[in-house]
């Protein structure tokens, strides 16, 4: 148990910077959460800045397509810095792509577009907060209820003052932009290049720029001709991809410009119509369900109360079964009501983000 609150359930994975566990939160909603445990025991104080920075950064980022932050602390041994975030039951996008490829399948274009738009909107929000992710890749993108969530801000960097570049050379080679590989600095357009590489990966189920060894990969990124998306995907989507991996960052679109590309804007408009329809019908369903529940169960709950008031008397098996049935029905009503509320609030957030 960490911080007298988080009970470790099982290990989810590990990386260069830490180990990730699923845990149970004994406080609040008691939902499954994730603890990222970062070893700092042998580091100098100034070397723990990345971990503290990640926690501070996550705590102020509020977006439906960014992993939600809950808590951070140093454990009792003073050796581990822990960050608590929401649990994404769908795993990471990299695992999803590998699984799809192993099954000999592909990701439908409408799904690719949905995830792509969510990713772009999340990055647009980051950039509006003067934040660069700097390590966007499929392993750092998670799925929760089939929606994209960007995570792992361990090497993100806040843009300071009016300076739009961060010179630190870090990240994953497959997703690095030409200007980063040439040590020309990293800016918001470099994140856009990475999203383009992720778009290709969702379609082709392999890296956009690959080769035998690091130098071969770097050469293809800097000098090579970008590949086309597989033929099963539309020319419109291929044009979106090509527009995001223009080698000159000055000619590469920003996140806002990506959302204004005709094919992307059209998909977002259709999504907006669907969300409006879904939200309106969801509200009507909740009102209808609650009204019928109230009318039907008001008398049934009174009868159940009568049964329970007679607890000193012996109840027949049929009466006991009736009480159990009513209790289960009320639990299901509460569950559906909470689910409807969560979906409504999430869709309102997405509508607001699409409109902006």
pLDDT digits (tens, 9 = 90+) for 3-39: 778 888 999 888 666 788 999 888 867 788 999 887 7
**Token output for 167:** 């010179």
Among 300, 353, 356, CA closest to 328 = 300
For the cut 80, the answer to whether the pLDDT of residue 281 exceeds it is no
19 phi and psi, to 5 degrees? -120, 145
**Which residues are 36's β-sheet partners?**
20, 83
Length of the chain: 356
pLDDT of residue 43: 57
For the cut 80, the answer to whether the pLDDT of residue 44 exceeds it is no
pLDDT of residue 289: 54
**Token output for 169:** 């050379």
pLDDT digits (tens, 9 = 90+) for 284-325: 555 555 555 555 555 555 555 555 554 445 667 776 777 777
The C-alpha angle with vertex 185 and arms to 182 and 189, in degrees rounded to 5, equals 100
Cβ-contact 87, 69 below 8 angstroms:
no
**Which residues are 73's β-sheet partners?**
82
Mean pLDDT of 181-196: 92
Which superfamily is assigned to 6-86 in CATH?
Phosphorylase Kinase; domain 1 (3.30.200.20)
The per-residue pLDDT of the chain, averaged, comes to 79
Say which residues have a Cβ less than 8 Å from residue 168's Cβ, sequence separation at least 6. Answer: 134, 155, 157, 186
Among 9, 92, 18, CA closest to 55 = 18
Annotated catalytic residue, options 92, 135, 152, 191: 135
Rounded distance, CA 207 to CA 229, Å? 11
Fold of 93-260: Transferase(Phosphotransferase); domain 1 (1.10.510)
92 catalytic per annotation: no
For the cut 60, the answer to whether the pLDDT of residue 283 exceeds it is no
Check the CA dihedral 33-38-41-47 and report its sign: negative
Cβ-contact 143, 93 below 8 angstroms:
yes
Give the domain ranges of the chain.
6-86, 93-260, 273-355
For the cut 90, the answer to whether the pLDDT of residue 110 exceeds it is yes
pLDDT of residue 325: 74
**Token output for 223:** 């000098």
pLDDT of residue 169: 43
pLDDT of residue 159: 36
Mean pLDDT of 130-154: 87
Strand ranges in the chain using DSSP code E only, listed in sequence order: 6-14, 19-25, 32-39, 69-74, 80-86, 131-132, 141-144, 147-150, 157-158
**Token output for 149:** 């969530």
Beta-strand pair 157-158/131-132: antiparallel
Q: Tell me the longest C-alpha to C-alpha distance in the chain.
A: 86
Cβ-contact 91, 139 below 8 angstroms:
no
pLDDT of residue 204: 97
Q: Which of 66-80, 169-183, 292-306, 321-335 has the lowest mean pLDDT?
A: 292-306
Record the pTM: 0.74
Query: Does residue 302 sit in helix, strand or coil?
Result: helix
Rounded distance, CA 120 to CA 113, Å? 10
Q: Which of 70-79, 228-237, 317-326 has the lowest mean pLDDT?
A: 317-326
Residue 213: pLDDT band with limits 50, 70, 90 = confident
For the cut 80, the answer to whether the pLDDT of residue 236 exceeds it is yes
Cβ-contact 175, 221 below 8 angstroms:
no
Q: What are the CA-CA distances from residue 297 to residues 270, 302, 311 (Å)? A: 40, 8, 21
Say which residues have a Cβ less than 8 Å from residue 237's Cβ, sequence separation at least 6. Answer: 109, 112, 113, 203, 229, 263
Mean pLDDT of 334-338: 69
Higher pLDDT, 326 or 128: 128
Q: Do domains 6-86 and 93-260 have the same CATH topology?
A: no
149 phi and psi, to 5 degrees? -135, 120
């Amino acid at each position: 148990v960490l911080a007298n609150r988080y009970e470790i359930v099982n290990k989810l994975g590990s990386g260069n910077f830490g180990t990730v566990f699923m845990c149970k939160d004994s406080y609040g909603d008691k939902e499954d959460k994730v603890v990222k445990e970062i070893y700092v025991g042998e580091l100098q104080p100034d070397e723990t800045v990345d971990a503290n920075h990640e926690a501070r950064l996550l705590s102020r980022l509020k977006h439906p397509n960014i992993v939600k932050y809950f808590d951070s602390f140093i454990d009792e041994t003073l050796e581990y810095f822990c960050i608590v975030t929401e649990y994404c039951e769908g795993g990471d996008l990299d695992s999803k792509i590998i699984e799809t490829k192993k099954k000999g399948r592909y990701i439908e274009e409408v799904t690719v577009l949905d995830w792509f738009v969510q990713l772009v909107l999340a990055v647009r929000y980051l950039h509006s907060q003067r934040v660069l992710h700097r390590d966007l890749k499929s392993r750092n993108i998670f799925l929760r209820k089939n929606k994209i969530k960007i995570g792992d801000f361990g090497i993100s960097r806040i843009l300071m003052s009016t300076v739009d570049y961060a010179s630190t050379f870090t990240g994953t080679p497959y997703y690095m932009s030409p200007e980063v590989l040439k040590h020309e600095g990293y800016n918001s357009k470099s994140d856009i290049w990475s999203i383009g590489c992720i778009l290709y990966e969702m379609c082709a189920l392999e890296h956009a720029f690959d080769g035998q060894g690091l130098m071969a990969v770097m050469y293809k990124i800097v000098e090579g001709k970008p590949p086309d998306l597989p033929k099963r995907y539309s020319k419109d989507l291929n044009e979106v991809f090509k527009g995001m991996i223009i080698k000159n960052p000055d000619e590469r679109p920003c996140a806002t410009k990506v959302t204004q590309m005709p094919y992307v804007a059209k998909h977002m408009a259709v999504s907006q119509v669907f969300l409006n329809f879904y939200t309106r019908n969801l509200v009507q369903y909740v009102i209808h369900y609650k009204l019928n529940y109230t009318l039907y169960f008001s008398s049934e709950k009174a009868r159940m109360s009568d049964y329970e008031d007679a607890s000193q008397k012996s109840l027949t098996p049929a009466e006991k079964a009736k009480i159990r049935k009513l209790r289960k029905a009320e639990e299901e009503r509460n569950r559906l009501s909470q689910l409807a509320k969560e979906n409504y609030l999430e869709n309102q957030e997405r509508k607001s983000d699409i409109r902006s």
